[in-house]
Structure 1
Amino acid sequence: MPINFQGLSQHIQSLAKELRTDLPDRRAILDEAIALFNSLDEDTIEAARDAQSTTQRLPWLVARPLTYPLDAKTAAPPPPHHFIVAAADGSNMPPDRHTSIQFYVINTGMVWLEYGGTAQCELETETTLYYQTEDLYLDGEARQYPVEGSRLSARMAIAELHALRRAVEEARHRIPDTPIVALLDGTLILWTIQTEPDQVRKPLLEEYLQVLDWFAEQHIPVASYISDSGSYELTNLLRIAICARQTTCCRPPTPPATEGPLALCRSLERIRDAALMRRHLSPGERSILFASESQILKHYREHEVRFFYMHTGEEIARVEIPDWVAQDPDLLALTHAALWDQCRRSGSQPPYPPALHEAHECAVLSTQDRQNILNLIEEELARYQISIQWSAKSMHKRLRGV
């Protein structure tokens, strides 16, 4: 039996009991948090940020407001009568170190949907097999820095952005002179390579930024959509604002406070930005713009990432955009309008952009897809009397006898 259901059941019961007990406290914390959020002014926030920047660097990210008041919100404008939404997504089949033939696969789905015109659309999938030494290693000559894990994630993000550009180019060719919004799923921040050495980070980031350069030159807004964001950057902003008002600090070795503002500071560790924004925003509304302070963004040039939260009608989405989109009121309004329009087109399903859903369906690699790819490779190699050798560990997994 691969799962000890009896032991697992006990843990599940404990989890449910803890969450049930936590509900009243969580509601009270959210009430306090939204009251604080509504009361903070620019002077308080900037003083808190200045105080934080002169002390030890915090171990968590803090949102930087780009406009004030903090609690301002914007209703979604109506979309253009005629516009296009393009989207791209990706999945991958990572390299398997237990095989004698090393390769990986990146599968990208690209979609564009026309609204208000002749209702044209295009869905396409591109599947690429990477097997050359320069594909498998970021330093192919020395065989250093294999493309796996976070590096493969970065490669896929770049492939998705290239696919998005191709979708936009095709849409513009077919339907010229029509507003386009370009969407990606997930984040625009390549944080997975933030700690990589320069010889790894620089070429990956430069290729990514070059594609963003094209979108900026074409004046086509790019936005990434994060469903039910798990970020804490906004609640972390509330935490440093609390600390700026206190004469003592809640960080160790000071004993945790049990009441008052410092107790709220400690409690906010458990509150996601989405929970706070669900209290603040109404369906279709967005928050003010914030700047992310991920370290890798220092290398993003004019593409530094800004973000806002949007109420989709059911959940709170985090929307990330490059700075040049944030600085252009027309592009920002077009992005907001298109996203709200997309969420309202979800039908009976939870609100989520249909363009992103279709791109995901094109890109996803099922278990059977992965096996079919492997079978094709093995069949083609067999024509040349070449066979893939599997490690003993892998063979035991495939041919389990007990």
Structure 2
Amino acid sequence: MPPDKDDVVLGGVAMDMLAQADDTLLLSLSARGLQLWCLSHFIVVNRLKTVIMVYGLSPSSVVPEFTVGEAPIHLSTSERYVGVTFQSQNNEGSEAARYSGHCIMGLQDKTGRQTPTQVKLLYNARVDCYLTHACEIMPDAMDTYVEPLIDVQKRFWHRVLRLGRRSMITPLHSETDVIPLRPRRFLILLGYLKYLLSKDGDKYARAALENSRSLAVMGKSSWFKDVNIAGSRLKFGLEPIPLDVSDPETIDDYRKILTEIGDSRKLYLLHDRKEPKKGKAPGPVALKMRIYLEVTTPKHRDALVSIVLSTHNLAVERLRRTTPATERENILCRMCMADVETPEHILFRCIGNENSDEELGADEENARVTAKYCYRALKNVYKIPMYRP
């Protein structure tokens, strides 16, 4: 097409029109440029199927009026072109993800509660797709858009594991092999950046990247600058991505999770935990669907989860939050009054709890037996009011 001063130019490549069969998308930096292009090319359009979208208007701007002949064209804020939705912002992802999550929970009312492994299959198919939609072209530079999505992910897995609001966030990911949403979205974003860097300079996608990098060098807002802002919000100590970006796969996405588990007093039962590895010596694994979550009896699984993640109602956890704080040596077992009421005391040492000792195992059969034992032990303890010094 003949050049126009209002053409959109990215990386030295003019982009005034995109066409897919008879579906046409016209681009211009001004109302005059767009109307002139249509006029000079004698374009014939279907007025009912033609819309105008305007981006970058300030609150005081006067919205221009477009016409086909004398008939005005509708001004739209959201349209789909060749399967891609164009709109200035996306606030629908969190609502769609939340609705899908509620449907999964509602399904269990009909089928009975599923194991976390089974729920994760549904989560990946029906929830995760909304949580990560378009994250490669919209970096998480603003918390306003990503925080509602993070909230959906946290609430969903809280319900799956039956954890309370006071429980820590890290086990939602370390115990289920579900990557936290910010790092997951950033990983997808880096994969897209790597794809763009692999393209030749004459490709539209690479031209857009080069234009974005040029704007970032000048300190102006751009997609490339938003990538670095999104990376800085991960709190991994990630250095800004240089213009000659290196291999994105070298980012250590799990460091935060390993560090948080190692420093937590509440999660002391997870410290130094080792997982079997095929052909290797057992070692720590940051993200993994843990074997104990495969227990099929829901109440047994809930009891074991409450002990491992310290969300139980034993005195050592309940009285930890009282004001004034209760000294640990005064938090006595309600059944024997001889030692501190901790999970390990209740399960293995309490003389007032009529349960045989069972050792926590790493295989699925031991996990089932242990979960049943934990359930019975906690059930016996919860029958007696908690001792308060």
Shorter chain as normaliser: what TM range? under 0.3
**Higher RCO (C-alpha 8 Å, min separation 6):** 1
Which has the larger share of strand? 1
How high is the TM-score relative to the length of structure 1?
0.19
Asked which structure has the greater CA Rg, the reply is 2
How high is the TM-score relative to the length of structure 2?
0.20
